Amino acid sequence: MLRKLAGYKYIIATLLYASLFFTQSLTLIWTVPYIVQALILNTAIMLGIYAFRGFDNSTTTSMNSCFVSFLSGTILGVVFAMIPILFFHARLPRFTIAITAALSIFIFPFIGCILMRYTIKHLPPKRYLVIGREEELSPILEEVRKASMNKIQIYSYLNPSPATLAAAIEIETARPYDAILIGDPQLARGVESLISRAEARNIAVEYLPLIVESVLKRIPMKLVDIFRDYYIIAFSNIHQSYRKRVIDILISTFAITVLSPVFLILYLLIVIEDGRPAVFTQKRVGLNNTIFTIHKFRSMYKSSEKQGAKYATQQGDNMTKIGKFIRPIRLDEIPQFFDILRGKMSFIGPRPEQPNFAEELSQQLPYYKLRHKLKTGLTGWAQTNYKYAATIEEQEKKLSYDLYYVKNQSVLLDLQIILKTFETVVFRKGAK
């Protein structure tokens, strides 16, 4: 069901993408330079819309959200596309660029939103017969139901005796469920023969971790508790990719070069307001729980250092004037590109915490240290999907996003994070 929905979204995105070329063809005669520039512009716009969640299920519930996503994504796409386009001798006409942007901003939100709503509405739900205790699994599965736009439903829970499961499997016609969902592996072991019989009858058998991860894009702590053996094996196979290190070197070198004027300006502004040092260092916990030194532009008054380590939510009164500007849009983290270049951290990964905070969280959250199976990062899955965590409950939920990234790291997921980082910075999500 989820794959079908994703496939329909790709079709909708492709239709919108093609309509940009069609509209542009009405305003110019195609030449090779124009085709190349149109490809750059249209691709950048579609990636921008994706970065601002224009195709997310939750966005389609509100036309205002659709408009904001498409507006923000289009502006971002046009700005980035203009950088290479300026190097062409025969550039796309301004009128063509304006028409393209107008179509994406004012027409696409309505077409895209209506098509996605229609698709979601008419896609049949998938109903599961769950092997597990309702009181234990219902909070997770209720969240899954809502996140899937009610397309994943629970027919019934079975704390199974062989008789009850056998009766459910023996139904030949008009079966009221589409698949069996293993929600508790210990309970499932007691009816393994019946589960095998169900598979022989072409009844799909699925496992809760795959459903939860594919829909919620995170790994709740309760899920790790229930499927502990599975996750112990999964996290034992995590390793740092050499390919990712190459990408980190390329990104950090490019960023340091391009942002060097910004670096100099911020350095001078901080020194003018509150003296030296403009850059401060701090100990953080990184790969395999090792301690390393992180560098940031100082956004607090020097006097605040005497008060000891605090969460960002407790430091508002100590923030400098320039700090109030650079911190929400993450400019204070520019020096960390040097830490990435040195190999102390990665561009993408769980956010590094101070040692005392990391120790405190590891004592309260049993699986916290699993996030250190990878290098910590400047941006990450948790940072782009969840707000700043100020309580232990929020820390637990943010950890669930970190664990999802650690387990499912890939080039495609890294690309999604890079795109969504723009939304995080522009809308100041999670900034304190």
How would DSSP label each residue in 14-32?
Answer: HHHHHHHHHHHHTTS---H
30: alpha, beta or left? (left if phi > 0; alpha if psi -120 to 50): beta
pLDDT at residue number 239: 87
d(CA 106, CA 127): 38
pLDDT at residue number 167: 76
Which residue stretches of 160-288 are H helix?
162-169, 185-189, 192-200, 208-216, 221-226, 228-236, 242-274
**CA distance readout (Å), 102 to 10, 70, 99:** 22, 11, 5
pLDDT in tens, the chain (432 residues): 677 888 889 999 999 999 999 999 999 999 999 999 999 999 999 999 999 989 988 888 888 989 999 999 999 999 999 999 999 999 999 999 999 999 999 999 999 999 999 988 889 999 999 999 999 999 999 999 999 989 999 999 988 666 777 777 776 566 889 999 999 999 898 888 889 988 998 899 999 999 999 999 999 999 999 999 999 999 998 988 888 999 999 999 999 999 999 999 999 999 999 888 999 999 999 999 999 999 999 998 887 655 555 555 555 567 899 998 998 888 999 999 999 999 999 999 999 999 999 999 999 999 999 999 999 999 999 999 998 888 999 999 999 999 999 999 998 899 999 988 988 887 766 544
**CA distance readout (Å), 356 to 262, 285, 302, 308, 332:** 32, 9, 21, 11, 22
Q: Which CATH architecture has domain 126-216?
A: 3-Layer(aba) Sandwich (3.40)
- Number of helices followed by number of strands (H, E) in the chain: 19, 8
Task: Return the closest-CA partner of residue 322 out of 355, 284, 296, 347.
Answer: 296
- Name the β-bridge partners of 205: 180
d(CA 106, CA 315): 41
Q: Look-up: residue for tokens 């250190």?
A: 372
Specify the length of the chain in residues. Answer: 432
pLDDT at residue number 430: 53
Look at strands 279-285 and 291-297 and give their pairing: antiparallel
Task: Return the closest-CA partner of residue 420 out of 18, 140, 50, 44.
Answer: 50
The amino acid at 39: L
Joined tokens for residue 151: 């397309």
CA angle (34 as vertex; 28, 35 as ends), nearest 5: 110
pLDDT at residue number 302: 80
pLDDT at residue number 328: 84
Task: Return the closest-CA partner of residue 217 out of 328, 381, 91.
Answer: 381
Joined tokens for residue 245: 């290190």
Domain definitions of the chain by residue range: 2-122, 126-216, 242-426
d(CA 137, CA 142): 9
